[in-house]
Structure 1
């Protein structure tokens, strides 16, 4: 009956990469995680902060909801008044602006 089960032997201690291999792999995975996930996300967040700081009266902007409007008033408390046309104005939070459009975009639509 012994021919169905193979014998198991203990390892002799000479493993691939030596004793430091798990530590090296942990460092490699940490660097991979940083450069592929954390760093691009930090760059996007910095670009969005710079965009929020550069918004001024008269800029034409696009919101995350797809609304295009002209900034008519910038409040210090984080809100912006957008002018959609001559009679309609809405108040939105500054964080919902995704991009600043080139001048004349609203007229070309």
Structure 2
């Protein structure tokens, strides 16, 4: 998928196992700023499965394909206004909660 990156938590990437069942929250982060993406991935990737999309359209595609539990959405995107993306997200029957961000 163009403009999309999935980052697994460090423990899952390294083959870490434990006796308890861990449920990882899938977080879709839609933001075109590489610096913001990198910073939030560093902070969130140990606890969440982070799905990154750099455009509104890539984010909407990821929403359909990855079924995230929550969305972090930038208001200013290169291809679509974040509020327009929000409208499309909430129109989905199983829309996840959305947290809007801006610089």
- TM-score w.r.t. the length of structure 1 is 0.20
More helix, by proportion: 1
Larger Rg belongs to: 1
> RCO (CA 8 Å, sep 6+): is it higher in 1 or 2?
2
